[in-house]
Amino acid sequence: MPREASESSGQAKTATVSRRSDRFLAGLEDFHGVTLVSHVHPDPDSLGSMVGLAHLIETCVGIPVQITQDGPICRAENKAMVQTLDLNLTPIEDIDWTDGNAVVMVDSQPKTGRHSFNGEANIYAVIDHHQTPGDVDGIPFLDIRRGVGATCSLVTRYLNEQEISIPEHVATCLFHGIETELSGYPREASAVDDSSLQLLYPLIDRDAIAKIKNAPLPEMFYETLLQGLQSSFIYDKLLLSWINELPNPELCSQCVEFLIRHEGIQWAMCAGVHDNRMVLSVRTNQTRAQAGEILRQVVQKMGGRAGGHDRRAGGFIPLPSTSSNAIEQVQSEFRRRVLKVLKMEETRGRRLVSRGEMLRNMQ
């Protein structure tokens, strides 16, 4: 089935957008329930989107909705979101895929390597904003708008179109999901994102948002950041950071978000070893940089998977083993490919923190 028309303007194709939410809801009337799924290690955009869709479906169709959690939630702010807003999440491994529920995939696409459940799920709909091309053939309902900054913005649109009142906790989830996706500079926001933020702001719990944003950080964050700083190298406008033992994959993105703020750097990439994979996270401060596509070009010939947006991307490369030699070989190949695709000269990197400085700090 052809993909729904894209939309990046808040004013364009209003009638088409309205029909989208109507069609989405109409197709659910033949089901007795809905299971919402997203990507592994769900983030605020995926969590907020699922909470918003659950409210939409339960209000308009009147059938029960399950919100799933695929893999652990490790990032401090994301754990705080679940706890503070009391989100009821069902582990993906507890789902019965034969129960006849409609399966709606949110903030992700099938067969992109970003989810752990198998192919038993009969997917009814995909609602997403990522550039990552998934296998969407035969899925009855698609709303994939790459010009929009957050999936939560699409869900907010649906709620607004259906003229549904939005409870405080739902509004807070959606608002936080949009804000996290648009963080950093330059902003990757469309008119749809900004209008959604304006709609939601009067409805949110501001204290809850503040609590989530200022969640306490575990000791492992500082240990990982230190390792990343000590193993960071600068190549022209690129900063590459290596972390050999990554306690959880989400620490990779937290480190790179700190590194991209280095003065004079345009690209920051962090790679860390976790569960026989080299986990990758990329940030850039360049507009229309297509970070997701660039990372995909780098890893696809190394057996890896990647995806993302213009300024942010993530992925992984499978490791033949976790021996020091195997890791160094993959690091070397990754570095070579990155420099080539960014059209930077392959020279010896300059340490962000010199060995002498490290030794002095150890005394």
User: What integer pLDDT is reported at residue 19 of this predicted model?
Assistant: 75
Equal fold, 14-213 vs 219-362: no
pLDDT at residue 30, as a whole number: 92
pLDDT band at 143 (very low <50, low <70, confident <90, very high): very high
The Cα–Cα gap between 54 and 270 comes to 35
* Rounded-to-integer distance, Cα 330 and Cα 120, Å: 33
Average confidence (pLDDT) over 352-363? 70
* Proportion of the chain above pLDDT 90, given as a percent: 79
Residue 14 makes CB contacts below 8 A (sequence gap 6+) with none
> Hey, what CATH class is 14-213 in?
alpha beta
The DSSP 8-state label assigned to residue 300 in this structure reads G
Q: Is 285 left (phi over 0), alpha (psi -120 to 50) or beta?
A: alpha
Give the pLDDT band (50/70/90) at residue 4.
very low
As a whole number, the mean pLDDT across the chain is 91
Domain boundaries, the chain: 14-213, 219-362
- Nearest-angstrom CA–CA distance, 9 and 280: 31
pLDDT of residue 11: 38
3-state secondary structure 332-350: HHHHHHHHHHCCCCCCCCE
pLDDT digits (tens, 9 = 90+) for 58-103: 999 999 999 999 999 999 999 999 999 999 999 999 999 888 899 9
Instruction: Please state, in angstroms and rounded to a whole number, the distance separating the CA atoms of residues 10 and 171.
Output: 19
Which range has the worst mean pLDDT, 49-58, 132-141, 299-308?
132-141
Q: Please give the pLDDT value at position 307.
A: 86
Q: For residues 152 and 174, give the distance between their C-alpha atoms in angstroms, rounded to a whole number.
A: 5
Q: What is the mean pLDDT of residues 292-301?
A: 94
The answer to whether residue 13 scores a pLDDT higher than 50 is no
**Residue 161 scores a pLDDT above 90:** yes
- The pLDDT, as a whole number, for residue 120 is 66
Question: Percent of the chain beyond pLDDT 70?
Answer: 91
What's the rounded mean pLDDT across residues 125-132? 88
CATH fold of the domain at 219-362: Diaminopimelate Epimerase; Chain A, domain 1 (3.10.310)
List, for residues 324-350, the tens digit of each pLDDT value: 999 999 999 999 999 999 999 988 899
CB 352 within 8 A of CB 234: yes
Average pLDDT rounded to a whole number, residues 282-289: 94
pLDDT at 185: 76
Q: Which helix (H) or strand (E) holds 233?
A: strand 232-235
The pLDDT-based confidence of 359 (bands split at 50, 70, 90) is: low
d(CA 212, CA 261): 22
